[in-house]
């Protein structure tokens, strides 16, 4: 059975996974890039962008696990773009340019569906108004034998965790106090009891936790 996985999901010490005030210019809101600096430094991120360079090491080892064996992604609309409410036009094609790093079908959860969007490199965005269970069924069919990644943002990951649909969760705790934004852990009391939890802090100061279904 294919698994449902979350990777490289950064949160602050106070549990915020996104800042306040997302805009076109500030995809992470007031958090800026502070939650993802550890990730931006990795070779995995550089490769994702088609660039050479980046650091190897333990952060990279964890970061690079995100792609292997994934056949589809599910993301929330706030990960796809800064717009809210009905689409005023269909010009917006995500933050990632003509060749997004997913290279699989990507199911974007939205109350405002629009036609699917075929990008270069194998990424196809599908826009669906569905429950976690329903969209997961679609994503599983698209993924075949491969796994499904829940790509974020916090609300989407939290929903899938609350419905106990996640088999593997990789969280990176960044030692900053963000103060405000969107919380990951709300409503998930006792989450750790459903998983085997491992932790490691890397020299850069980021603590990686993996929650794996036993």
By CB under 8 A, name the binding residues for a copy of itself: 13-15, 173, 175-180, 183, 185-192, 197-201, 205-207, 209
Q: What is the C-alpha to C-alpha distance for residues 151 and 51, in angstroms, rounded to an integer?
A: 22
Q: What is the closest distance, in whole angstroms, from the C-beta atom of residue 150 to a copy of itself in the complex?
A: 17
Q: Which is nearer to a copy of itself, 120 or 186 (CB)?
A: 186
In three state form, how does the secondary structure of the chain look? CCCEEEEEEEEECCCEEECCCCCCCCCCHHHCCCCCHHHHCEHHHHHHCCCCCCECCHHHHHHHHHCCCEEEEEEEHHHHCCCCCCCCCCCCCCCCCCCCCCCCEEEEECCCCCCCEECHHHCEEEEECCCHHHHHHHHHHHHCCCEEEEEECHHHHHHHHHCCCCCEEEEEEECCCCCCCEECCCCCCCHHHHCEEEEEECCCCCEEEEEECC
Q: Which is nearer to a copy of itself, 58 or 124 (CB)?
A: 58
Question: Residue 12 is encoded by which pair of tokens?
Answer: 């602050």
Q: Which is nearer to a copy of itself, 38 or 125 (CB)?
A: 38
Q: Which is nearer to a copy of itself, 19 or 100 (CB)?
A: 19
Q: What is the closest distance, in whole angstroms, from the C-beta atom of residue 198 to a copy of itself in the complex?
A: 7
Q: Which is nearer to a copy of itself, 122 or 205 (CB)?
A: 205
Q: What is the closest distance, in whole angstroms, from the C-beta atom of residue 208 to a copy of itself in the complex?
A: 9
């Amino acid at each position: 059975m294919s698994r449902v996985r979350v990777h490289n999901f950064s949160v602050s010490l106070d549990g915020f996974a996104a800042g306040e005030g997302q805009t076109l210019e500030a995809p992470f809101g007031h958090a800026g890039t502070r939650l993802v600096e550890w990730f931006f430094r990795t070779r995995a991120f550089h490769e994702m962008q088609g660039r050479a360079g980046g650091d190897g090491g333990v952060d990279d080892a964890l970061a690079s696990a995100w792609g292997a064996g994934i056949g589809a992604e599910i993301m929330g609309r706030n990960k796809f773009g800064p717009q809210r409410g009905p689409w005023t036009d269909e010009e917006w094609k995500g933050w990632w340019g003509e060749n997004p790093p997913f290279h699989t079908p990507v199911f974007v959860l939205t109350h405002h569906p629009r036609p699917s969007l075929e990008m270069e490199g194998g990424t196809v965005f599908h826009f669906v108004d569905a429950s976690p269970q329903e969209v997961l069924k679609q994503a599983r069919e698209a993924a075949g034998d491969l796994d499904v990644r829940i790509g974020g943002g916090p609300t989407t990951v939290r929903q899938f965790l609350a419905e106990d649909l996640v088999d593997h969760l990789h969280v990176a705790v960044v030692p900053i106090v963000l103060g405000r934004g969107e919380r990951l852990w709300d409503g998930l009391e006792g989450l750790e009891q459903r998983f085997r939890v491992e932790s490691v802090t890397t020299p850069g100061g980021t603590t990686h936790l993996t929650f794996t279904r036993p």
